[in-house]
Amino acid sequence: MSGKNRSTPGRPSSPGKGNFGETGFPGSSAEKKAAVMGNKKKHRLPIFGIAAVLLVIAAAGLYWSGVKRSNGARTIPSGGNTLNASGTHLSFAESMFDDGKARHFKHRDGDLQVRFFIVKSSDGVIRAAFDACDVCWPAGKGYGQSGDYMVCRNCGQRFASIRVNEVKGGCNPAPLKRAVHNGRVTIQVQDLLEGKSYFDFPGKA
């Protein structure tokens, strides 16, 4: 019949403007799914951002908590190192020296910084020494590492790692007592302070 709307048998007439899917809501199922997934992703981004900020804050807290004071002295440690509650000794994780690389540390006492290093020598022994010697200490340059050798930054003399703690005097690194027990390397603060004269020079850090 002309002038009248006809409906296709078995299918409802279009209710008006808009694109309606099978559920009677605007848009296709694919479009609705995309919209929902988009909203979920938007909610996730702020959560990830907050988690990252909290992680950075926690890491900073752990670092500064490792710097402890005792009787006016301060130790500047790296990860896994501690100054015990009574301030009598320093403790380091033995595993941190397994790669044979020398680690340098500082212990502040008043206006002096006592510098020392710990290294696992080529024969597998943990060794420690002040970052100074009986000859070049006034220069305050200490030692660097070149392969299996500790090298004086002032005069350039080289010392095999197996000589650290074994040979003293001259330009050899001044020995520092240490003990290794139950996976920890321990150094007594009193032993460190006995070497502080090596670091009392003009222009000291």
pLDDT digits (tens, 9 = 90+) for 24-82: 444 455 555 555 555 555 555 466 667 666 665 554 444 333 333 333 334 444 445 55
Instruction: Give the residue among 165, 183, 182 at the shortest CA–CA distance from 174.
Output: 165
The total number of structural domains in the chain stands at 2
CA distances from 205 to 20, 111, 202 (A): 76, 8, 9
pLDDT digits (tens, 9 = 90+) for 95-133: 999 999 999 998 888 888 899 999 999 999 999 999 999
Where b means 16+ CB within 10 Å and e means fewer, 163-193 reads bbbeeeeebbbbbbebeeeeebbbbebebbe
Structure-block tokens of residue 135: 């000859």
Q: Domain boundary at 8, 37, 65, which?
A: 65
- pTM for this entry: 0.61
Q: Domain boundary at 28, 49, 65, which?
A: 65
In a domain, 45, yes or no: yes
In a domain, 8, yes or no: no
In a domain, 5, yes or no: no
Instruction: Give the residue among 105, 127, 133 at the shortest CA–CA distance from 189.
Output: 105
pLDDT digits (tens, 9 = 90+) for 122-175: 999 999 999 999 999 999 999 999 999 999 999 999 999 999 999 989 999 999
In a domain, 205, yes or no: no
In a domain, 160, yes or no: yes
Whether residues 35 and 74 fall in one domain: no
Whether residues 100 and 173 fall in one domain: yes
